[in-house]
Chains A and B, each alone.
Chain A
Amino acid sequence: MIFINKIHAIFNTFSNKNAFCIKNKYYSYSEFYSQIFSISKKIEIECKNQQRIGIIASDDIETYAAILACLLTGKTYIPLHPHQPSDRIQQIINQAGIEYLLSKSTDYSFDGIELINIENNGEEVNNSVLKIPDESIAYTYAYILFTSGSTGVPKGVPITYRNLDSFVEAFFALGYKHNEDDRFLQMFDLTFDLSIMSYLIPLCIGACVYTIPDTGTKFTNVYSTLEEHAITFALMVPSIITYLRPYFNEINLPHLKYSLFCGEALYKDVVCEWAKCVPNAIIENVYGPTEATIFCLTYPLNNIEELEEYNSMLSIGKPMQGMEAIVVDENKNQITNGTKGELCLFGLQLTPGYLNNERNKESFFELNNKKYYKTGDIAFINDKGNFLYCGRVDHQVKIQGFRVELSEIEFHLRKITNDINLVVLAIGNQNGFNQLFAVFETEMQNMEHIIDDLKQKVPAYMIPSEIHFVSSFPLNSNGKTDRNKLKELIQQSK
């Protein structure tokens, strides 16, 4: 595996250089390696060399060492978010078949799980060399991430070592100019795959990873890290610069060389203003679902005067090396004349399929002997061969960069309320952010306990910010609840 070999070489070459800066404390590559080594021993002995290892994903060096201990030895890691409801974590544990959970904190307890403490208590580790796995791990899962699923059960997306290695190879083929003196921003939850680029790529080149504190508000933390540490490479979700926009005239980040955006639509006007804050940076819009490993299309904003856009959402560009993208119509026939259809992906970065086979039938299909993944995103190709994103096919929305199935929230609310008819709507507010609204088809009643119950089931970003009551839902011509009419009603009532 290219990335495993690269990281191993870095540990030898740059042992005294800093690998991480977490909560303003630096950790050198040699310190990091010691921790990786000691955790890999724990996996071998205490986890009885099980293939799938759960990791409570916190912002500390032990968590990163645990992830690398898995990746450098051919294990499969499953990151679990410490602030997510325990019900949801338990569902993930059951689906992924995890028996051992690595954690620095001993505050957790789950059914059928043995917690392995990875806190580094300063003991000297007798370092020898980690055994590097050979190419036979290519089709082994490197990690499994869980995204929102419409049936109320999180969807498990496994990514193989070959998928991940293909991403690393394709990333380096983009030709970015970076070296061991670069400073990379890591602003993502470790359950979000954009985090993997943010720490794995710097570790492949001997650069330093700067994480952001998990207290306070994210956009101020991101900005202070960019500024204080003169970050040179930053992958962010577009909402960060939307939040910072009122202060653009105070922002000047001359050190930033690369400013990448992913996870949500990137709007032309805000990014053009951002360009003035980062005078020396190359800005790129990158795109890709978790199913196709981190990201797989890129659009460099070479000429700010001639940007390609649709409804002011910037193009997502062209596929990276090893990936193919096509647009298909409702009958899964390829569209080549530039009209809109569903964006589908094929290639080295594509997951072999969801953990739950049922899901695979609706999400993957064969065309010309290739297995394509239907992204659920609507797109078209322009005359320059660039893809333009136009919106979602289904009821999936992005909240703070997280993929959210509205039907998953509806599923839980219906269960909690014993089947009161309801819909959950995402409505963009004046700042361009999606806000969630739960609308019940019933007379007004106190629903506070319902929100409390929902918090036990889904993460905070999936909790509706407002509840509305409508005595009877408007229907469309097919007799279905007319979501657009409901949206209008809600907006008028505000």
Chain B
Amino acid sequence: MEDQEILEQVNKLFTKILKKPNVVLTYETTAADVDGWDSLTHMMLIDSVEKHFAIKLKLMEVMKLNNVGDLVAIVKLKTTK
């Protein structure tokens, strides 16, 4: 899967969790940029990304996610393995 495609799918998952249809994520987006992106929504997002892409992230991997680009990269790595 290409980065852009993963980003679009992550974006869809995120708008569903935040209940905000207009959220547009970029690779550089961080939790601080999006209203309502806190510990709870972060955990729900990781959970839905894991289910959607049928992958499992380790704690170290979750901790190293600094922006949406990092999330897309780890999804790509795990789904192409």
Q: Which residues of A contact B (CB under 8 A)?
A: 215-220, 223-224, 239, 243-244, 246-247, 250-251, 400, 431, 433, 435, 460, 463, 465-466
When C-beta atoms are compared, the residue in chain B nearest to A249 turns out to be: B59
Contact partner of A433 among B35, B36, B40, CB < 8 A? Answer: B40
Contact partner of B39 among A239, A251, A435, CB < 8 A? Answer: A239
Interface residues of B in 22-45 (CB under 8 A from A): 30-32, 35-36, 38-40, 42-44
Say yes or no: A250 contacts B59, CB within 8 Å. Answer: yes
Given known contacts A218-B39, A239-B39, A400-B38, what 6 new A-B pairs fall within 8 Å (CB)?
Answer: A215-B30, A215-B31, A220-B42, A460-B36, A460-B38, A463-B36
Assembly CA distance A218 to B62 (angstroms): 12
Can you report 21 residue pairs joining A to B where beta carbons are below 8 Å apart? A215-B31, A215-B32, A217-B31, A217-B39, A217-B42, A218-B38, A219-B39, A220-B42, A220-B62, A243-B43, A247-B58, A247-B59, A250-B59, A400-B39, A400-B40, A431-B40, A431-B43, A433-B40, A435-B40, A460-B36, A465-B36
Count chain A CB atoms within 10 A of each CB in B30, B32, B38 and give the residue with the most. B38
Say yes or no: B39 contacts A250, CB within 8 Å. Answer: no
Residue B81 is within 8 A (CB to CB) of chain A in the complex: no
Decide: A216 near B31, CB < 8 A? Known: A239-B39, A243-B39, A433-B40: yes
B65 CB, min distance to chain A CBs, angstroms: 8
When C-beta atoms are compared, the residue in chain A nearest to B22 turns out to be: A448
Contact partner of A224 among B35, B47, B63, CB < 8 A? Answer: B63
Assembly CA distance A433 to B47 (angstroms): 15
When C-beta atoms are compared, the residue in chain B nearest to A221 turns out to be: B63
Provide the residues of chain A in CB contact with B39, threshold 8 Å.
217-219, 239, 243, 400
Query: Number of B residues whose C-beta is below 8 Å from A?
Result: 19
B48 CB, min distance to chain A CBs, angstroms: 13
Assembly CA distance A239 to B44 (angstroms): 14
When C-beta atoms are compared, the residue in chain A nearest to B40 turns out to be: A433
Residue B51 is within 8 A (CB to CB) of chain A in the complex: no
Say yes or no: B31 contacts A251, CB within 8 Å. Answer: no
Assembly CA distance A217 to B63 (angstroms): 9
Contact partner of B59 among A216, A217, A244, A466, CB < 8 A? Answer: A244
Assembly CA distance A251 to B42 (angstroms): 19
Assembly CA distance A224 to B62 (angstroms): 11
Assembly CA distance A403 to B4 (angstroms): 41
Interchain Cβ contacts within 8 Å, total number: 50
A427 CB, min distance to chain B CBs, angstroms: 13
When C-beta atoms are compared, the residue in chain A nearest to B56 turns out to be: A246
Say yes or no: A223 contacts B59, CB within 8 Å. Answer: yes
A146 CB, min distance to chain B CBs, angstroms: 21
Provide the residues of chain A in CB contact with B47, threshold 8 Å.
246
Say yes or no: A220 contacts B63, CB within 8 Å. Answer: yes
Contact partner of B19 among A250, A251, A433, A466, CB < 8 A? Answer: A466
Contact partner of A247 among B30, B62, B66, CB < 8 A? Answer: B62
Provide the residues of chain B in CB contact with A218, threshold 8 Å.
38-39
Say yes or no: A250 contacts B58, CB within 8 Å. Answer: yes
Provide the residues of chain A in CB contact with B43, threshold 8 Å.
219, 243, 431
Contact partner of B66 among A216, A219, A243, A250, CB < 8 A? Answer: A216
When C-beta atoms are compared, the residue in chain B nearest to A220 turns out to be: B63
Provide the residues of chain B in CB contact with A466, threshold 8 Å.
19
Count chain A CB atoms within 10 A of each CB in B36, B40, B58, B59 and give the residue with the most. B40
Provide the residues of chain A in CB contact with B38, threshold 8 Å.
217-218, 400, 460
Provide the residues of chain B in CB contact with A465, threshold 8 Å.
19, 36
Provide the residues of chain B in CB contact with A217, threshold 8 Å.
31, 38-39, 42
Count chain A CB atoms within 10 A of each CB in B31, B39, B47, B58 and give the residue with the most. B39
Residue B1 is within 8 A (CB to CB) of chain A in the complex: no
Provide the residues of chain A in CB contact with B35, threshold 8 Å.
460
B22 CB, min distance to chain A CBs, angstroms: 9
B60 CB, min distance to chain A CBs, angstroms: 7
Provide the residues of chain B in CB contact with A250, threshold 8 Å.
58-60
Provide the residues of chain B in CB contact with A244, threshold 8 Å.
59
A86 CB, min distance to chain B CBs, angstroms: 17
* Interface membership of chain B positions 45-81, coded 1 if the CB is closer than 8 angstroms to chain A and 0 otherwise: 0010000000000111011001000000000000000
B43 CB, min distance to chain A CBs, angstroms: 5
When C-beta atoms are compared, the residue in chain A nearest to B43 turns out to be: A243
Assembly CA distance A296 to B66 (angstroms): 38
Assembly CA distance A435 to B40 (angstroms): 10
When C-beta atoms are compared, the residue in chain A nearest to B67 turns out to be: A216
When C-beta atoms are compared, the residue in chain A nearest to B44 turns out to be: A431
Provide the residues of chain B in CB contact with A433, threshold 8 Å.
40
